[in-house]
Amino acid sequence: RPISCSPQSKTGKDEEYIFVCDIGNPLAGNSEAKFGFRLTGTKVDATDEAIEIRMSVNSSSEEAYGRDHDNELTVRVPVEIKAQLSLVGRSTPEQLDYSIRNRTPSDPIFDSEIGPVVSHLYQVINRGPSAISGASLDIIWPSFAENGKHLLYLIDEPQVNDADKVKCRVKQAQNINPDSLTISNEHIPTPSAIIYDDQIPMQHYEREEHVREMYDDYKLRRRRMQIRSEHMTRRRKIKRSHKQMLTDQRRIRVVQAKDNMKQAVKMAKAAGKAGCNMDNCTHIECDIRRLNEDEFVLVEIYARLAVNTLIDNNIYEADISSIGIAKISALPSAPRYNPPAQLVALLYFMDKKVCLK
């Protein structure tokens, strides 16, 4: 027959839950009652390593002396605290076009003379179910190109949405506005005035009417047209050959850049942290305090894209990226729990224009 249990009862706030189950009246000799129950923990103390469930059986009938040693059982249910960070990123704007004809001043005074504003926004979210006591966010920022020229020129300290929950510091503080420019404080991504399409129309030979009038002979005019056609064909072949060569070179650079990025991501994941051991990058460290389930923090980095560096290095296609890696550093309890770090790479892909992805 079905087993019935009394409703759970609790005499006080700090008292235990107690419920009683009727397993048979009478319960025949050498028989057994099999049943189960499901418990759900609420407001569990995270400092406890386990929850104890104590069970006991008794009977209204007298039990033989010395046979009651197995009437009680204590089950310890370990308390496991779990939390999962989520790291997402966004580049703004999503696309930038630059023209090789629009070089910026070589000795700028204002940051706007370097190039357009770009920003990377990182969001660290605690997906729960448990709260976390602390976390870290490391951002590797590509401040300089391989030749030491400015690439993504930092114009300000990292901006955060809640200074009480997250604090950031730039390890290479000298990389923030290193040329001591006058900062416009735009802090919103806007198209730069120097950015526009750079389509140069193909030159065409103009027909000289006075020459054509001098040569009325059909054969001469036909020969002239043939020479002109051959010349244009040779030009097109040379252009196609040169364009193909540039395309091949760019494709090789893109593949190499992507391979380098994959290797950097692989190393960062393996290490569980991000570092900046090269002179061309900037390491930004952020300490995140307690985050409850579904709480988040925002960190945004603002910079100027150095257009002159792209022009001087003949960069038509490339991958420019920052890398962010977030990791839980402290939990209320359960020191054995070590969740994996979360890593995001924000990429810029360029092809005579800079596309932010």
Write out pLDDT tens, residues 292-331.
989 999 999 999 999 888 888 877 666 678 889 999 998 8
Among 49, 79, 109, the domain boundary falls at 79
pLDDT of residue 136: 94
Q: Tell me: pLDDT of 212 over 50.
A: no
Q: Tell me: pLDDT of 356 over 70.
A: no
Range name among 4-13, 322-331, 341-350 with the lowest pLDDT average: 341-350
- Please report, as a single letter, which amino acid is at residue 248: D
pLDDT of residue 332: 76
Average model confidence (pLDDT) across the chain? 74
pLDDT of residue 218: 44
CB count within 10 Å of CB 319 equals 20
Domain with 281 in it: 84-197+268-356
pLDDT of residue 337: 64
pLDDT of residue 282: 92
Q: Tell me: pLDDT of 279 over 80.
A: no
Q: Tell me: pLDDT of 256 over 50.
A: yes
Same domain, 26 and 150: no
Same domain, 315 and 329: yes
Tallying the residues shown for the chain, one arrives at: 357
Same domain, 53 and 170: no
Residue of 59, 71, 57 whose CA lies nearest to 26: 59
Tally of structural domains, the chain: 2
Question: Which DSSP category does 111 fall into?
Answer: G
Among 19, 53, 79, the domain boundary falls at 79
Task: Please report whether residue 110 resides in a domain.
Answer: yes
Task: Please report whether residue 51 resides in a domain.
Answer: yes
Spatial separation of the C-alpha atoms in residues 267 and 257, rounded to whole Å = 15
Q: How large is the average pLDDT for residues 170-196? A: 71
Task: Please report whether residue 155 resides in a domain.
Answer: yes
**3-state secondary structure (DSSP) of residue 191:** coil
Q: What six digits make up the tokens of 344? A: 């995001």
Same domain, 186 and 132: yes
Q: What is the 3-state secondary structure (H, E, C) of the chain?
A: CCCEECCCECCCCCCCCECCEECCCCCCCCCCCCCCCCCCCCCCCCCCCEEEEEEECCCCCCCCCCCCCCCEEEEEEECCCCEEEEEEEEEECCEECCCCCCCCCCCCCEHHHCCCEEEEEEEEEEEEECCECEEEEEEEECCECCCCCECEEECCCCEECCCCCEEEEECCHHHECCCCCECCCCCCCCCCCCCCCCCCCCCCCCCCHHHHHHCCCHHHHHHHHHHHHHHHHHHHHHHHHHHHHHHHHHHHHHHHHHHHHHHHHHHHHHHCCCCCCCCCCEEEEEEECCECCCCEEEEEEEEEECHHHHHHCCCCEEEEEEEEEEEEEECCCCCCCCCCCEEEEEEEEEECCEEEC
Among 79, 107, 139, the domain boundary falls at 79
pTM: predicted TM-score of the whole model, two decimal places = 0.61
Residue of 53, 45, 54, 51 whose CA lies nearest to 78: 51
61-65, 93-97, 218-222, 347-351: range with highest mean pLDDT: 61-65
Same domain, 48 and 137: no
Residues facing residue 18 across a β-bridge? 9
| 225-239 pLDDT tens trace | 666 666 666 666 665
Q: What six digits make up the tokens of 259? A: 């391979």
Same domain, 65 and 145: no
Q: What is the percent of the chain where pLDDT is above 70?
A: 62
Q: Tell me: pLDDT of 161 over 90.
A: yes
Q: How large is the average pLDDT for residues 342-347? A: 70
Range name among 36-50, 238-252, 260-274 with the lowest pLDDT average: 260-274
Residues facing residue 160 across a β-bridge? 299
pLDDT of residue 295: 94
Angle (CA) 253 301 90, round 5°: 70
Q: What is the 3-state secondary structure (H, E, C) of 198-236?
A: CCCCCCCCCCCHHHHHHCCCHHHHHHHHHHHHHHHHHHH
Spatial separation of the C-alpha atoms in residues 177 and 157, rounded to whole Å = 10
Same domain, 151 and 190: yes
Same domain, 65 and 187: no
Task: Please report whether residue 9 resides in a domain.
Answer: yes
pLDDT of residue 188: 52
pLDDT of residue 156: 94
pLDDT of residue 6: 81
Spatial separation of the C-alpha atoms in residues 133 and 110, rounded to whole Å = 42
Q: Tell me: pLDDT of 135 over 90.
A: yes
Spatial separation of the C-alpha atoms in residues 130 and 126, rounded to whole Å = 8
